[in-house]
Copies of this chain bind each other. A is one copy, B any other.
Amino acid sequence: MSILVHDPDLKRVRPVLTAVRERAPLVHCLSAAVSMGIVADGLLAAGARPMMTETLDEAPHMVTLANALLINLGTLSTDGSEGIPATVEAAQGLGLPWVLDPAAVGIAPVRTAMARRLLKRHPAVVRANASEVLALTGEAGGRGADSTAVPDEAVRAARQVSALTGGVVAISGVEDLLIDARRELRVARGTPLLTRVTGTGCLLGALTAACLGAGAAPLEAADAATVWIAVAGELAETRAPRPGSFRTALLDSLDEVAL
């Protein structure tokens, strides 16, 4: 714990983590089926509260209760593809901040068109890997949830997306790149073990939404969420170097790091 107290990245983002713990923002997640569990448990561990309904009939009503919205296109069900546009529209009407995670965009036809349309609804943060950012601007395809490009290759595309949304583009990689109209922030933290657990990228998007829901500005929220999960991952790795127990330790560490 004493090490964490002196961590300079954690020190920078601590006010945002504290705000999440104090305000317990309700984060409406229309997220990949496969990672719903880690997203919901990760939000609870962080001190936020998840809500996961995705149907067209209910999600646009439920979002009125939320403090922030996460849209993750990971496994895009029919319910999700019908419910997402109306829920984002409702969130925008309410002035709710929202995060777009265009998982696997580029290959899958429905989500590629949808993601590009959703950019016009001004997501506060777009969180994606480099291949996905390139695909958003039509420059490249993706390969499942993995990235074949590195963040620096996607900088130009990210600036283009940021110009369109007016928000932040957070490019995940070994070094994360957080970009808005004027600034560029680099966070080189974390552990490769984070890529050996399903849904840690989805959870990063959800934590970003939680930080927005607690009042952080887009760049500040993206920075805080990126540091939060990366430092928690580093701490978890010291305790659990294999993927099953690492997943459990990561959730514990999200809790521990925030206190």
| Known contacts A50-B198, A108-B58, A109-B58, A243 near B77 by CB under 8 Å | no
Q: How many copies does the complex hold?
A: 3
CA distance A62 to B146 in the complex (A): 13
Contact call B107/A62, Cβ cutoff below 8 A: yes
Contact call A26/B79, Cβ cutoff below 8 A: no
Residue of B nearest to A251 (CB): B244
Contact call B40/A55, Cβ cutoff below 8 A: no
| Known contacts A40-B198, A108-B53, A65 near B143 by CB under 8 Å | yes
Q: Does A169 contact B (CB under 8 A)?
A: no
Contact call B76/A58, Cβ cutoff below 8 A: yes
CA distance A255 to B246 in the complex (A): 12
CA distance A38 to B40 in the complex (A): 12
Main secondary structure of the interface of A (DSSP, over half): helix
Q: Which of A77-101 contact B (CB under 8 A)?
A: 77-79, 81
Note all chain B residues with C-beta closer than 8 A to A26: 143-144, 146
Set B54, B107, B249: member contacting A245, Cβ < 8 A: B249
Q: How many A residues are at the interface, by size bracket?
A: 35 or more
Contact call B248/A245, Cβ cutoff below 8 A: yes
Stretch at the interface among A29-37, A120-128, A213-221: A29-37
Note all chain B residues with C-beta closer than 8 A to A41: 197-198, 243-244, 247
CA distance A44 to B35 in the complex (A): 13
Note all chain B residues with C-beta closer than 8 A to A196: 44-45, 255
Q: Encode contact with B along A55-69: 1 for CB under 8 Å, 0 otherwise.
A: 101100110110000
- List A residues at the B interface (Cβ < 8 Å): 26, 32-38, 40-41, 44-45, 49-55, 57-58, 61-62, 64-65, 74-79, 81, 104, 107-111, 143-146, 195-199, 242-245, 247-256
Known pairs A53-B76, A244-B250; list 4 more (Cβ under 8 Å): A64-B107, A196-B255, A242-B251, A244-B252
